[in-house]
Amino acid sequence: MQWRHEWKHEVTPSDRIALRQRLGAVCKLDSHATNGSYRIRSLYFDNLADKALREKIDGVDRREKWRIRYYDGNTNLIHLERKAKAHGLGTKDSCSLTANEAQSIVEGNTAWMSCDDRQLVRRLAMAMTCGGMRPRTIVDYEREPYLFPAGNVRVTIDFNIRTGLSCIDFLDSSCATAPVPGNPIILEVKWDEFLPSIVRDAVQLTGRRTSSYSKYAAARAYD
């Protein structure tokens, strides 16, 4: 399990322009990006007590969240992901799902999951049957991704963040969404053991401080 460092900053549209120029000069654009970006749709899970949401808001040191996601509207490749945080570091476990499997999970059909070959699917089944985990809300956004090999650095700029409100119809591309409050732009920087100075300098912005922004929490603002 690889634990990674992470910075998050909420930035302005002018910051985004400056960052794009700086990062384009020192980093490689992720090959999955088309015309510089790609679209992400995620479906986040929580229990009836909103445990994941409350732990995020309260700043609980050790916490986890579950989601399923796909990119650029391509439902032929869907990812089930479990993200964990501890002591300011983050890690992620992931496996692939078919569209039928994802839809089954959305509908709460967990019987097949308990005996699945994939450990992560079995773990989600346990979280759903014993912990009351259930699909909670869709989050859509666009991402500009940059890579720097030394330190395994990944820098992303996320924008046009939208919430599906109470919609959990993950595979329905016509599901209505609304902008999250403030129309934020989020810079994220992730790395392994060290962050090269050339990248550190490129992402430095005057007056911007590390934040704990959560797209899931922002998407729940209208509840």
Per-residue pLDDT at 123 exceeds 80? yes
β-bridge mates for residue 148, sequence order: 153
**Higher pLDDT pick, 210 / 130:** 130
Q: What is the DSSP letter of 120?
A: H
Q: What is the pLDDT of residues 48-75, one digit of tens each?
A: 999 999 999 999 999 999 999 999 999 9
Q: Does 212 score more than 90 pLDDT?
A: no
pLDDT on residue 115? 94
H runs (alpha helix) in 3-62: 13-26, 51-58
pLDDT mean over 194-205: 95
Contacts of 22 (CB under 8 A, 6+ apart): 202, 203
Read off the pTM.
Answer: 0.94
Structural tokens at position 74: 């391509």
Q: Above 90 in pLDDT, residue 159?
A: yes
Domain map (residue ranges) of the chain = 5-219
- CATH match of 5-219 with 3.20.100.30: yes
Tens digits of residue pLDDT in 8-29 = 999 999 999 999 999 999 999 9
Task: Inform me whether the pLDDT recorded for 173 exceeds 90.
Answer: no
Please tell me the predicted confidence (pLDDT) of residue 118.
Answer: 97
Local confidence band at 101 (pLDDT 50, 70, 90 cut-offs): very high
Query: What span, in angstroms and rounded, lies between the C-alpha atoms of 45 and 50?
Result: 9
- Strand pairing of 134-148 and 28-29? antiparallel
Share of the chain above pLDDT 90, in %: 87
Q: 143-168: buried (b, 16+ CB within 10 Å) or exposed (e) per residue?
A: bbbbebeebebbbbbbbbbbbbbeeb
What mean pLDDT value characterizes the chain? 94
pLDDT of 210? 76
